[in-house]
């Protein structure tokens, strides 16, 4: 892992787009092909929120959505007190984002509002220059409110990109937030995503993050269970090959009693790909009756693929139920033998086992249309059919150049 000095020097070689592109209808360069999902699109292009007229939209039920930069000017009381991600995190990349972010998405859900339609944040890069993109997103969910957000990182034109993004989520009492993240970036991209979540009493945070393609991806997740009976469920899947690298670094802090957290992350690595999992659960002295479960499972398809996994617990309370574990291995020979004994070819048997292994994570997606599409994408990724699309991660790729496949000859 490079130091921040290495990355800061590298940042200087990238161009920052200081003004947004002239408005063009998003459908001209992006179309989401997930049918029957009915999400509301919140597009970011080259670091800027895309809009034709008003940069913020206020709905009759009090929901406010749009540009974070505009929200800072129009609703400073709703924004400034809640930009807190840097306060307890010494990561210099996060500090850089706090000082230099261009724009981002602001989403405010007032008390007692259940939003039926999911919002979809789509972060696109479409530039001939090598871009440094620093976005900051702020999402606030009020008491007894519920919303789902899908966040997609993708590119419409290939090139070198350095993305340093912070997403902050503030959940009030009894709030429910369902968060789905997909990553499908080109080989020369660097993506650092910092997810920072504050939870109050009885709130629920449910996340599912899937990395399909990456140059270098680092997902930093910080969860604070600040009041009793808060719950956080974190699921993740990474499918990497060639020289791709994916890190997931998770820190969950139980500050209050009677809270629950669960982590289940899985990965498949091929060729010389590398991945990392660092799962850190902290149980504070007052956090009695904590339940914290943590699991990381990995499959290596070659001798050169690598995974560094370190799930661990730091417990200062005495009335807890906590567990952690990690596995690293290859496909189960007994399961392969069983399938082959039923007349299934070796290639098909290996593919079936890998799909079953990966699809467990996808099944925790609660939006049916999205779950079906992601299951299809996992199958295509394992078949070597999924690439960086020219429209969207979730667009069919039958006519695209097939790159970054997990080698079908090994399936």
- Averaged pLDDT for residues 159-180: 93
Res 159: pLDDT: 64
Q: Which two tokens stand for residue 27?
A: 């459908």
Q: In residues, how long is the chain?
A: 411
> Alpha-carbon dihedral of residues 90, 72, 48, 239, nearest 10 degrees?
40
**Residue closest to 164 by CA, chosen among 259, 248, 95, 226:** 95
> Cβ neighbours of residue 312 under 8 Å, at least 6 residues apart?
279, 280, 281, 324
**250 neighbors 260 (Cβ within 8 angstroms):** no
Q: Where are the domains of the chain?
A: 4-336
pLDDT in tens, 310-331: 999 999 999 999 999 999 988 7
- Averaged pLDDT for residues 50-76: 93
**169 neighbors 179 (Cβ within 8 angstroms):** yes
> Alpha-carbon dihedral of residues 279, 285, 289, 293, nearest 10 degrees?
10
pTM greater than 0.75: yes
In the chain, % of residues over pLDDT 70: 85
pLDDT higher than threshold 70 for residue 272: yes
pLDDT in tens, 209-253: 999 988 899 999 999 999 999 999 999 999 999 999 999 999 999
pLDDT in tens, 99-152: 889 999 999 999 999 999 999 998 888 777 888 999 999 999 999 999 999 998
pLDDT in tens, 350-367: 888 888 999 999 999 999
Over the chain, what is the mean pLDDT? 85
**Residue closest to 254 by CA, chosen among 179, 311, 199:** 199
Q: Which two tokens stand for residue 251?
A: 């820190």
> pLDDT class for 91, splitting at 50, 70, 90?
confident
From CA 411, how far away is CA 409, in angstroms rounded?
6
pLDDT higher than threshold 60 for residue 52: yes
Greater confidence, 401 or 62?
Answer: 62
Task: Out of 85-99, 300-314, 367-381, pick the least confident.
Answer: 85-99
From CA 290, how far away is CA 284, in angstroms rounded?
10
């Amino acid at each position: 892992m490079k130091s921040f000095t290495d990355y800061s020097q590298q940042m200087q070689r990238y161009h920052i787009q200081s003004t947004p592109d002239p408005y063009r209808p998003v459908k001209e360069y992006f179309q989401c092909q997930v049918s029957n999902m009915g999400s509301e699109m919140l597009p970011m292009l080259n670091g800027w929120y895309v809009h034709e007229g008003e940069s913020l939209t206020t709905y009759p039920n009090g929901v406010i959505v749009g540009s974070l930069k505009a929200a800072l000017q129009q609703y400073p009381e709703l924004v400034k007190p809640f930009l807190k991600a840097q306060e307890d995190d010494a990561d210099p990349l996060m500090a850089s984002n706090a000082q230099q972010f261009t724009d981002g998405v602001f989403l405010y859900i007032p008390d007692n509002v259940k939003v039926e339609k999911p919002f979809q944040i789509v972060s696109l890069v479409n530039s001939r220059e090598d871009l440094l993109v620093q976005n900051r997103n702020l999402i606030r969910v009020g008491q007894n409110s519920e919303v789902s957000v899908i966040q997609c990182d993708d590119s419409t034109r290939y090139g070198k990109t350095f993305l340093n993004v912070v997403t902050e989520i503030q959940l009030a009492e009894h709030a429910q937030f369902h968060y789905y993240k997909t990553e499908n970036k080109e080989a020369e991209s660097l993506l650092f995503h910092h997810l920072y979540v504050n939870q109050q009493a009885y709130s629920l945070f449910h996340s599912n993050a899937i990395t399909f393609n990456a140059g270098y991806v680092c997902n930093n997740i910080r969860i604070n269970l600040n009041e009793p009976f808060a719950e956080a469920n974190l699921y993740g899947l990474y499918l990497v090959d060639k020289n791709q690298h994916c890190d997931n670094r998770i820190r969950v802090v139980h500050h209050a009693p009677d809270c629950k957290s669960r982590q289940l992350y899985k990965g498949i690595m091929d060729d010389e790909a590398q991945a990392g999992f660092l799962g850190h659960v902290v149980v504070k002295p007052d956090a009695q009756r904590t339940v914290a479960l943590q699991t990381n499972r990995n499959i290596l398809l070659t001798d050169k693929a690598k995974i560094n996994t370190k799930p661990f617990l730091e417990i200062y309370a005495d009335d807890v139920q906590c567990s952690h574990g990690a596995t690293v291995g290859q496909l189960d020979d007994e399961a392969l033998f069983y399938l082959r004994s039923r007349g299934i070819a070796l290639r098909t048997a290996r593919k079936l086992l890998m799909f079953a292994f990966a699809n467990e994570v996808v099944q925790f997606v609660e939006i049916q249309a999205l779950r079906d599409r992601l299951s299809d994408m996992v199958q295509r990724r394992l078949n070597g059919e999924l690439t960086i699309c020219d429209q969207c991660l979730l667009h069919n790729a039958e006519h695209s150049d097939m790159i970054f496949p997990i080698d079908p000859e090994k399936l």
